[in-house]
Structure 1
Amino acid sequence: MNNEAVGTWKVADREPVRGRARPVKWPKLSAAAWLLIVGIVALALPTMLTVAKVSWSTEQGGHGPLVLATGAWLLWREVPAALRLRSAGNALLGGAFVALCLIAYLVARITGIIEIEGFALYGALLGAGYLLFGGAVLRELWFPLFYLGFIFPPPDQAVTIITQPIKIAISEQAVNLLYALGYPIGSSGVSIQIAQYDLLVAAACAGLNSIISLTAICLFYVYVRHRANWRYAALLMLTIVPIAVFANFVRVILLILITYYFGDAAAQGFAHDFAGLVMFLISVLTIFALDGLATPLRRALGNGHDD
């Protein structure tokens, strides 16, 4: 096997094995590359500790550690082959982008806006990757790099704007269904009344914020399982958000029924977390079920070959 030096990296060539390419080994790192890694860790560590404290301890951000671990695994598996495409990035373009990201990072760090700080840091790291390895490498690694962005919390204001209409619609449909089944239930604005209990729409639909978690996990499954069949993978990805909305509808029904039969305290205690777990399981199992039922479609879009 021939080796070729690429800057400070040494990348091994692929060799065909029974018609398939053998994964190349990770390149050996030079002292300069290790210094760069140490610098990146020193810059990222304070931000990641803040993200873990502020976001990963919440329901909508609890997927962060899992995304970080699986995203790192994807990079570990795919970076060596991608480095074969290495070429120098545009120094002016890449340098300007990194500078802007670092300025935004500094401002966000001073003001304590963790949502901006996290994405500004990540942008600076992507810009550094572009300068070191070129755009072709980043394009080859597009999914792991996109997927790792889920470890940072999105702006609360944006989440509220996007999810509020969906929350209201879910609550209205839940009330309509239970009313049709004979339950003493009604709604007024953002409040649901069942018997003598009041339940806020925001509390009932709090799980909708975890739609980001569900999207991240399901995207990982679709990519790893069906990346070779990109047309089928794209169709399956389109089902993720509707499935998450349906799962949250089930969660709202559960919380309303728990409130009705066991009281408000039960619905806001262990049962609240249990309903969230049920919602997550429903979403994941629904994706698995759809994937299984769509086998003929997958084979058709894969030109007759199952992946």
Structure 2
Amino acid sequence: MPIKTSPALDFARTYPVLVLALALTVLPTLYAMATESWSTEAGVHGPLVLATAVWLVWRNWDEIRAEARPGNLWIAVPIVVVMAALYAFGRAFNFLIIEVGALLVALIVIAYAFVGPRVMMKMWFPVVYLMFLIPLPGWLMDSITQPLKILVSDITTWLLSAVGYPITQVGVTIYIAQYQLLVEDACAGLNSLISLTAVGLFYIYLMHNASWRYSLLLLALLLPIAIAANVVRVIILVLLTYYAGNEVAQGYLHDFAGIVTFVSALLLIFGIDKLLSPIRRRLTDGKQDGSKKEGTHAEAA
């Protein structure tokens, strides 16, 4: 009875040294990401991004094998050497952003060396999508979240004040009755925006890959959706504090509110996509009409 093989096993038997080197670099980095980045709200989307990116490659594996042509080693080898040095630096000094970034670039270039530029161009989305695995540096997170925190605080205070609640605000600190609440980074919307953008991009790519104009429209809506969802989250926490006390609002309901907010934002994206289906059909029909006109002109010529 013949032993069944898989592409992964065949590759490991053909290039055992390369597979060993990849295992010695990828596995420690995955562990570091799982214990550092993925355990925070800012990086919670990481496992989902990795799993769906691998699934996209597996989904197109037959096409990849059929069209694979070796890439230019004169381009690939120097880049891999530089990335290996950067990886070692990031690993030695615990710079996760450098470690993950260098490893991803090295893996992409190694893939290019085996399958060639044509396949890599066709697989552009998984390549770009994997960039969401790179954790953002703290200084960048702080510089972006501060204006978002102020915006969320302003909107929350204005809405609750408009309906009669005794609420005031100083910067990102909200005062309601005898309670004081600080709008932290998790409530600012950036973490939700990163996760929503990653999941939204995957959804848009699968559902509307053919219509790039409509895809851009949905992408443009991700920021206001993330901000609106986090305003709702802060309002819920403020009202919980007002009616039930600070201990209730800052307990398990705080984390639960974050989960509900993210799920609600996803459902809102799906709902908006459904409502905008007439626009999607119009854009798609316009693209098809343009293609038909070009074909007609070509035949006339």
Q: Tell me if TM exceeds 0.5.
A: yes
Once the two structures are superposed, residues 34-64 of structure 1 have per-residue CA deviations (whole angstroms, 9 ceiling, x without a partner) of: 5533432221000100100112122222222
Describe the SS at the equivalent of 1:186: strand
Corresponding residue number in structure 2 for 1:258: 240
CA contact (8 A) 2:144 2:190 kept: no
Corresponding residue number in structure 2 for 1:56: 38
CA deviation after TM superposition for structure 1 residue 130, in Å: 2.1
The answer as to 2:41 corresponding to 1:70 is: no
CA contact (8 A) 1:168 1:190 kept: yes
Corresponding residue number in structure 1 for 2:204: 222
Describe the SS at the equivalent of 1:302: helix
The answer as to 2:262 corresponding to 1:290 is: no
Corresponding residue number in structure 2 for 1:200: 182
Corresponding residue number in structure 1 for 2:225: 243
The one-letter code matched in structure 2 to 1:29 is: D
Corresponding residue number in structure 2 for 1:39: 21
The one-letter code matched in structure 2 to 1:50 is: A
CA deviation after TM superposition for structure 1 residue 82, in Å: 3.2
The answer as to 2:195 corresponding to 1:180 is: no
Corresponding residue number in structure 2 for 1:7: none
85-94 or 75-84, larger mean C-alpha shift: 85-94
Distance 1:231 1:83 in 2: 31
The one-letter code matched in structure 2 to 1:74 is: L
CA contact (8 A) 1:204 1:255 kept: no
Distance 1:133 1:47 in 2: 24
Matches within 5 A, 1:79-94: 79-94=61-76
Distance 2:191 2:160 in 1: 23
CA contact (8 A) 1:204 1:252 kept: no
Higher normalized helix content (fraction of residues): 2
Once the two structures are superposed, residues 125-147 of structure 1 have per-residue CA deviations (whole angstroms, 9 ceiling, x without a partner) of: 11222222222221111111221
Distance 1:27 1:111 in 2: 32
CA deviation after TM superposition for structure 1 residue 248, in Å: 0.9
Identity across the alignment (%): 45
CA 1:115–1:62 in 2, change beyond 3 Å: closer, same or farther? same
Distance 1:231 1:76 in 2: 27
Corresponding residue number in structure 2 for 1:169: 151
Could you tell me which runs of 5 or more consecutive residues in structure 1 were left unpaired when the two chains were aligned.
1-24
CA deviation after TM superposition for structure 1 residue 95, in Å: 2.4
Describe the SS at the equivalent of 2:259: helix
Which 4+ runs in 1 deviate beyond 4 A?
A: 25-28
247-256 or 130-139, larger mean C-alpha shift: 130-139
Corresponding residue number in structure 1 for 2:253: 271
CA contact (8 A) 2:149 2:185 kept: no
TM-score (norm 1): 0.84
Describe the SS at the equivalent of 1:187: strand
Distance 2:269 2:15 in 1: 41
Describe the SS at the equivalent of 2:285: coil
CA deviation after TM superposition for structure 1 residue 28, in Å: 8.5
The one-letter code matched in structure 1 to 2:224 is: P
140-149 or 224-233, larger mean C-alpha shift: 224-233
Distance 1:67 1:237 in 2: 17
CA contact (8 A) 1:208 1:248 kept: no
Distance 2:286 2:142 in 1: 43
TM-score (norm 2): 0.86
The answer as to 2:133 corresponding to 1:151 is: yes
CA 1:27–1:61 in 2, change beyond 3 Å: closer, same or farther? closer
CA contact (8 A) 1:170 1:249 kept: yes
Corresponding residue number in structure 2 for 1:139: 121
Corresponding residue number in structure 2 for 1:29: 10
CA contact (8 A) 1:61 1:210 kept: no
Corresponding residue number in structure 2 for 1:299: 281
Number of aligned residue pairs:
282
The answer as to 2:117 corresponding to 1:117 is: no
Distance 1:239 1:181 in 2: 27
The answer as to 2:83 corresponding to 1:101 is: yes
Distance 1:177 1:284 in 2: 23
Q: Indicate the RMSD between aligned Cα atoms, in angstroms.
A: 2.4
Describe the SS at the equivalent of 2:184: helix
